[in-house]
Amino acid sequence: MTALSLPSLRLDHVFGCAAAVLIVLLVWPWLQSPSAVRAEAPRELSATPPELSPMPPLARFSVIGERPLFSSSRRPVPGEKAAPAGPGIEQRYRLLGVLTTGESRRALLAEGKRRFAVLEGAMLEGWRIARIEHDRIVLSSSAGEAVLQLQPATGSEGWVDPSPVARPIIPDKPPPEKPQR
């Protein structure tokens, strides 16, 4: 009977030793001393960043704006026309004033004798009104950005609203009735 249990006893010892070795290998990283971890020098970063190649001109990327990503035909919307190249919009329009009411902002513009108001985010001849600030508006398009500075009105060129908004007539409220006893 001892002959039969002897081989199984040796096999149990082999499995036990293998399990002990695996446990030691698994626990070994946590048993290292902190000084051994600190002894490993961190990689040194260079003081100067690597040189980057120069960016190509922005005109090279104009195709991205001309072919909208989220349009199935990848063609511009027919109602929108592309912004004219160059800074001509600054000479064509003049900023007369800025109206801010709560979150709403409007810019009062002049083009020759014509006066009109535009909202922030609106389109003006292919240019989007990106920001309306207290003394300027910033226009953006695929051609770049343009800024219209606020200029004081000269002579009779002040703002004239061509379509005044009629205020609704609100009737006076009658005084509250006293309860009768």
The pLDDT assigned to 77 comes to 65
Question: DSSP class of residue 150?
Answer: B
Q: Which helix (H) or strand (E) holds 20?
A: helix 2-31
pLDDT digits (tens, 9 = 90+) for 137-177: 999 988 788 899 887 656 555 555 544 555 555 566 666 67
Rounded Cα distance between 111 and 113, Å, is 6
The pLDDT assigned to 173 comes to 65
Nearest to 119 by CA among 133, 97, 104, 136: 104
pLDDT surpasses 80 at 35: no
pLDDT digits (tens, 9 = 90+) for 47-88: 777 788 888 877 777 777 777 777 777 776 666 555 544 447
Q: What's the whole-model pTM score? A: 0.39
The pLDDT assigned to 18 comes to 92
88 vs 42, residue with greater confidence: 88
CB–CB of 95/131 below 8 Å? no
What are the residues whose beta carbons fall under 8 Å from the beta carbon of 84, sequence distance 6 or more? 125, 126, 143
The pLDDT assigned to 19 comes to 94
Rounded Cα distance between 102 and 105, Å, is 8
Mean pLDDT over 4-26 rounds to 80
pLDDT digits (tens, 9 = 90+) for 89-140: 888 888 988 988 888 889 999 888 889 999 988 998 888 999 999 889 999 9
